[in-house]
Structure 1
Amino acid sequence: MSRRNPAKRWSLLCAAGLAVAGGSALGQDRQEQTDKARTVYEAIENRIGSRQAVEQNLTSPLISGMSFTTLDGQTNFQKQLSCPSSASYLEIFFGLGAGGDLSPVYLKQDTDFDGSFDVNAALPVPVSGVCANGVIGCAPGTWTECTPYLWHANDQGRITLQPSGLAALAGCYCVNNSCGSGLGFANRDTILDDLAGGMAGALMRQDPRYAVSAVQKQDFLIRLSGQDTRACAAEPDTPQHAYYDDASTLSSDAFAAASGDRVHGLIAGVPSGEETLLTHKSCRVERQVTLEEILGIDIISRVTSTHPYDEQGCAGDPDCFLFAIGDGENNGLRARDAAVREEGCGYFHEEIVWSIDHVDRITDATLLDAVYEDQIAVRVNDILIFSTGGYDGVNRPSDCQVNDQKTVSINRSFKDALQDGTNRLIFSIAVKDKGSGQLRARVRYEPSCALEETIDDTCAPHAESDQCRLVDEIVDSVPTFRNGGRTGLTPLAGSRTLHGAKCSRSFTRPWFDRARTYECETDGPGRRAFDFSRPAHILGNSTVDDYADRLPAGGDQFRSLTGPYSARFDMGIPDCEQICKTSFQTEDTDVSNTGVVNTLLNEARTIQYQYHQCAAGVCPVGPGEEIVEDCGCLSDFNDALLLMQTFRLAGQDLICTSGVKKPLQ
């Protein structure tokens, strides 16, 4: 007798998809293990062998109040990924007005999570535009007298509309007839998603139990369920009588149920019969807007200066500064203290060093006035701007003696002497014996708070290619193309504000982000068009007895194969449905017009036959039954044919009613 070790037993059961607890397989024969594996397989097949079975026995219990049942059907238990807060915590329905606006828009809410709606309300305005976080209400059928609204949830969890600015809304698009005909009907799924998403977002900011766990849509209605483990209940299905009332919903609901998985979508969208390989290319077109802020410190900044130096702002002008260099105290300078003395004069030099990065933004640089004794000179970047007594700051003045301190109004610009980079202003003072020198000046500049805009387009190669076509496009969260066709929805212009250190700018653009998907044919040497040469070779060269094939052999070479057909048809499928035949005795208790029939019979007990479907090769014999034929591929067709012929002949005329004897046929 063949034995199997535990490892092989576990391998067999794992192949069936389930680890079955049990003792060692030692001492069990192969047939017993096979029968157990078949039992496990049949149990799995019955529980999850179809899409409906998976939904009923696995999916629904995970997300609703239904119970799981073990494979043997003996034990029930509950395990859930999430629990809806109630049958629905939010229900939204909208109709379409004469101008294409969403009107009315009805809301039902379960704010206390008790399983019933306690809020029934309608929006106070017709909805002309839908946004990701609000709506826009305008004069019906037009895009005038518009007011933007944000979704808002109060402390009691009630949804309301709160007037807002358009800049606070996102992903907006027009739905009424001012933008196109039939937009609300054609895009009702998208509209429902955006309405529900915006309301749910407002609610979740108040209470995390409003996190969406289930969504149901039907025509112009959507239901949302949330998270509350105290109130788990299954979402009601569409009543069957609804399909009798409106048969058009049957096909849409059927497609929605079928197209929920990727496999269905791939099969539904595959290009049938085409030789060209189509690939999907995803790309984006993004509008990049940045704020380029240039402050005063970025334009001109002091690196160093000699002492004394003073700097202060200009009255009423934030983009300006005044500075003073030197000492205006009378007789504050003495020639004997000068670092340089020549021919009876002492020379003092005061210096300012600036770093300038945007010289074009300096609008004014003016020497205002000076107090001095004896002579002075002002040079900027070695350019003489102002001097007295023929003194240029380099050469000796003609007269180094001035008896009294003087004040002079200069009002001379040195703007043209400035440049990007390092700039030096040198204030030179020539003193005979005692003197002084102080210079005052002003610098004005123009800060920048400009918007820099670029378009980052990774879709250009696909858009310019004749082998690509646009399949899907989402513009600022608004679907404008779907499955190769226009949705009719157009996003509204969006407004944004950028803030800098000292300035901000608001701006409006028709769009900011375009996410696109193109369907492109693969071309060039690597093009993977389907090669029909192999099936043509097989069909053209195979015979009834032998096959012919050709396979790639590297490069452009092929190798031919021929030979007799060989196939293994043993797929483990039984030849028939195994049945068995049993017999049992019974009392004939039939009654006729002459009384009980068994009183007319020599033997009141009769034998009857019964057929049973075998389970695991065993005939399920009932009480008092005996096996006539054991499990197998039984065929009692002859007995059945004889019985049918007997009934047929019994119904024919056995007497010669017409006077002519009739043969039995």
Structure 2
Amino acid sequence: MDVIKGLLVLACAWGFSAHSAVNMQQEAKNISDLSQSMTGSKEALNTNVISPLSGGGSLKTFDRKEDFSFSIGTCSASEVFLKILTQPQSSGRLRLLAIEQDTSLDGNLDKFINVNMDADMVCSNGIMQCTNVDDFSTCSSFKWSAASDRTVGLTRVGMSELGGCYCISGKCGNALAWRNLKQVLTDVAGGISASLAAVNPYYTMSGVTVEGTQATVTGGNAQCATGSVTDLVSTTDPKKLASYQNDPNKMKQDSQTETASSWAYQAIQSGSLNPQESSEIRRCSEVRQPIIDSAKLSDIITLDSGTGGVGYCGADCIMLTLGTVGDNYWNSPCGEFGAAARFFIKDYKRIKSAVLEKAIFDDWIQILLNGNYIWSGPYNNWTGQAIPGQCELSTSWNINPNVSFKHLFNKNGVAEFKMRVMVADAGEGYAFARLTADLSCKDTKTDTIANSCSVYQNDPECTLLEERVDGVLTFSSGAITGLNPLPQSKTISQDSCQITIQRPWFNKNRTYRCNVKTQSDLTKAIARSEKIKTSTTAKDYQDIQFKNGGIVGDSGTLNFDNLPTVQPCVQACKVRKPVYPDVALDGVDKGVVNPTHYDVTYKECSVGVCPLSSGEELVQACQCTNDFAEATAIMQIMRNAGQDMICSTGIEKPL
């Protein structure tokens, strides 16, 4: 309090002078009177402020010289465009009975649709109906959709087209729909509204009211279709906003542009708008990222050493060259020549087939893999050391053996091909092997989870307020809702493959409230206040300021001439208004001499005038009212009456 007094004295010293004292006093009185007349009572506040802000008229300046139109929302968000009538069943199912909707956005519900379907599971964009809720194979999926005439309905789809689903019946829990009816109906309403917004972006849900088993959805009206939403966003074309759904990169670019000029964004980014807050809202997420095994052809097999090569013959085809391609590069009357090609197998499990496709030689050839016989030519009968015939066959052979050796590719590591070639006179020997590879994505069943919530989970000062798992509200207002999402399916693309995988969940979004301790150093402010308080006289003051690491002294004179006289109290008047008792069915009691009763109230005076309302009678004019004696007398009467009535011991009590 001393700090405040010192600062007020300093403020007066800076801004007050004898020349302006009278004018300031009058201006302050005028402002006070205007403010009191505009907001001094609930009737005035409602008429002059609340109603205009809600769209019920024009706002006026306090001097009533200017008026203008302004509302908190550019478009009215109170128009009802959808009603959903439901009935939870004893089995736990939710029966969707009927839907009423406003198809023209003119404020009238002009379409009535009989749905009459039971939902075992509620999704963010549809429902599921099951013969046995514990067996997903018995479930049928339905998605909310809207026709071109804006009529909403349910369309049979595959389960993968639904999202954010949770079970409300069967073994999932008892009476889940009843216990979470508001949340369940809000999710149903959100799915229907989203389907309508897909054909008309003006179907934007602003609120859901649940009364009994009926949900009423409010949003925009026809004026929103032609009006401007400039107060809400920078663009005046809501269809542009809707286009962001199909162009998220454009939305990102536009949002970055907006942040540069948005005072609200800068205020949030720079910190709390209220430095006195003792707690802060923290938001975080857990994101599951499945690890997918994908491969390229180069990830299957490579050349290690020797005479050979690796080539690619298609999207999933690998061609191995064994030996040197050419003609008559060996010469001998009857000699044996050899060649070896070593390959390194990186992932043998992805080799679907391995076939010796072609062999070109003159005169005999034998091909081995890791010492195992594959084939020999030209008659596939050279299985031992010596050739089974004469050396010279006088033929240059080009044969397609089409022999599989996939069974020999049974582990990762080095695979060595050896060729023995018998040549008479001049000849050559080489071959080609074709492999086909499995390049599909494979689910490794292992995941990485990025958890930005761990710091709050382990902080005893943080409390979980809300959690949504894949869009399903599982924790709300500090309590478990009982709603749990179904296992989700997700299609992941990696390299040149795609795979659809299923996990219990993919995204968890949480909101925590964390207590914070603000460290405020008021040492300098207290020292300055103390200096002003102890040095101020009726004519002058002394001050100190902390600048450039030091203390700078300051002083000045005070002029308090013609200060306004402050009333010793807030003036009030006493008024009364007659009220009449209710008449019973048997008529008025003849024993009542004067049936008139009064409600007595006190009102704050404005400029010495008592603000009387209709039917009120002035009892006591504006003055400094002190009814302490009257209040004490009433309390004493009540006490004595109590003593007079209570005599449970049979002994009269003294007053």
CA distance in 1 between counterparts of 2:170 and 2:368 reads: 72
Q: The residue matched to 1:491 in structure 2 has which SS? A: coil
**In 2 relative to 1, CA 445–465 (structure 1 residues): closer, same or farther, beyond 3 Å?**
same
Q: Contact (CA 8 Å) 2:286, 2:509: kept in 1 or not?
A: yes
Kept after mapping to 1: 8 A contact 2:294/2:442: yes
Question: Which of 122, 129, 146 is residue 130 of structure 1 equivalent to?
Answer: 122
Task: Indicate the residue corresponding to 1:67 in structure 2.
Answer: 58
Residue 392 of structure 2 corresponds to 402
* Equivalent residue letter for 2:468: I
Equivalent residue number for residue 120 of structure 1: 112
The match for 1:175 is 168
Correspondence for 1:96 among 79, 83, 88: 88
Counterpart selection for 2:149 from 145, 151, 156: 156
CA contact (8 A) 1:292 1:450 kept: yes
Which whole-Å CA distance do the structure 1 matches of 2:114 and 2:299 have between them?
Answer: 56
C-alpha change, 1:84 and 1:472, in structure 2 (3 Å) is closer
Equivalent AA in structure 2 for residue 71 of structure 1: F
How many angstroms apart in 2 are the aligned matches of 1:475 and 1:494? 10
The 3 A distance-change label for structure 1 pair 402 and 573 is farther
Q: Report the alpha carbon displacement of residue 209 of structure 1 after superposing the two structures with TM.
A: 1.6
Equivalent pair of 1:280/1:518 in contact (CA under 8 Å): yes
Q: In structure 2, do the counterparts of structure 1 residues 298 and 619 end up closer, same or farther at CA, with 3 Å as the change threshold? A: closer
SS of equivalent to 2:427: strand
User: Match for 2:217 among 218, 223, 228?
Assistant: 223
Q: How far off is 1:168 after superposition?
A: 1.2
The change in CA–CA distance for 1:510 and 1:52 in structure 2 (over 3 A counts) is farther
| Residue 300 of structure 1: aligned partner | 301
Give the CA deviation at 1:166.
1.9
Counterpart of 1:203 in 2: which secondary structure? Answer: helix
Give the whole-Å Cα distance in 1 for the aligned partners of 2:565 and 2:456.
Answer: 51
Shift of 1:232: 11
Partner SS, residue 30 of structure 2 = helix
On the 8 A contact 2:25/2:564 being kept in 1, the answer is no
Find the partner of 1:207 among 195, 200, 208: 200
Q: Equivalents in 2 of 1:417, 1:635: separation in Å?
A: 105
1:490-513 deviations in Å (ceiling 9; x for gaps)? 222223333456654333333333
1:294 aligned partner, one-letter code? A
Query: Taking structure 1 as the reference length, what is the TM-score of the superposition?
Result: 0.54
Q: Deviations over 1:610-661 (max 9, x none)?
A: xx9662x8999xxxxxxxxxx9968999xxxxxxxxxxxxxxxxxxxxxxxx
* Rounded Cα–Cα distance in structure 2 between residues aligned with 1:31 and 1:88: 56
Q: Give the CA deviation at 1:180.
A: 2.5
Structure 1 CA distance, aligned partners of 2:94 and 2:409?
A: 67
Match of 2:68 among 48, 69, 77: 77
Give CA-to-partner distance per residue, 1:344-371, whole Å, 9 cap, x none.
7899988878675324533654546745
Alignment-derived partner of residue 658 in structure 1: none
* CA distance in structure 2 between the partners assigned to 1:636 and 1:362 by the alignment: 100
Q: Which residue of the partner structure matches residue 269 of structure 2?
A: none
Unaligned 5+ segments in structure 2 are 1-10, 228-277, 379-386, 520-562, 574-603, 612-620, 628-655
Structure 1 position 447, deviation (Å)? 4.0
Corresponding residue of 1:485: 479
Q: 2:485 is paired with a residue of what secondary structure?
A: coil
The offset of 1:49, in angstroms, is 7.8
What secondary structure does 1:202 align onto?
helix
Task: Tell me the residue number matched to 1:289.
Answer: 290
Q: CA deviation at 1:482?
A: 2.5
Counting matched residue pairs gives 471
Deviation at 1:575, TM superposition (A): 1.7
The change in CA–CA distance for 1:101 and 1:516 in structure 2 (over 3 A counts) is: same
Alignment counterpart, residue 511 of structure 1, candidates 505, 508, 511: 505
**2:105 match: secondary structure:** coil
Deviation at 1:489, TM superposition (A): 1.6
**Unmatched segments (≥5 aa) in structure 1:** 1-10, 16-24, 234-276, 390-396, 529-569, 581-611, 621-630, 638-665
Q: Distance in 1 between matches of 2:134 and 2:348?
A: 51
Residue equivalent to 2:470 = 476
Q: Displacement of 1:67 after TM fit?
A: 3.0
User: Once the two structures are superposed, what CA deviation does each residue of 1:262-307 show, in whole Å capped at 9, x if it has no partner?
Assistant: xxxxxxxxxxxxxxx9988765444322432225453136899999
What's the secondary structure of 2:218's corresponding residue?
A: strand
Matches of 2:70 and 2:515, distance apart in 1: 48
Amino acid at match of 2:395: Q
Structure-1 separation of matches of 2:210 and 2:317: 64
Change (3 A) 1:491 1:82: same
CA RMSD of aligned residues (A): 5.8
Give the letter aligned to residue 63 of structure 2. Answer: D
Counterpart amino acid of residue 130 in structure 1: V
Distance 1:55 1:352, change over 3 A: farther
What CA distance in whole angstroms lies between the structure 1 residues aligned with 2:568 and 2:427? 127
Distance in 1 between residues matched to 2:467 and 2:499, nearest whole Å: 29
Q: Larger relative contact order (C-alpha < 8 A, sep ≥ 6)?
A: 2
Residue 540 of structure 2: aligned partner: none
Q: Out of 57-66 and 344-353, give the one that drifted further.
A: 344-353
Q: Is the 8 A contact 1:472 1:518 kept in 2?
A: yes
Distance in 1 of aligned mates of 2:438 and 2:422: 36
Q: CA deviation at 1:221?
A: 2.8
Task: Report what 2:347 is aligned to.
Answer: 358
Task: List aligned pairs for 1:189-588, cutoff 5 A.
Answer: 189-213=182-206, 216-219=209-212, 220-226=214-220, 228-229=222-223, 284-300=285-301, 333-334=327-328, 338=329, 356-362=345-351, 365=354, 367=356, 370-374=359-363, 376=365, 402-405=392-395, 413=405, 431-452=423-444, 453-456=446-449, 458=451, 472-499=466-493, 503-516=497-510, 574-577=567-570
Q: CA deviation at 1:131?
A: 1.3
Question: Is the contact between residue 463 and residue 513 of structure 2 (CA under 8 Å) also seen in structure 1?
Answer: yes
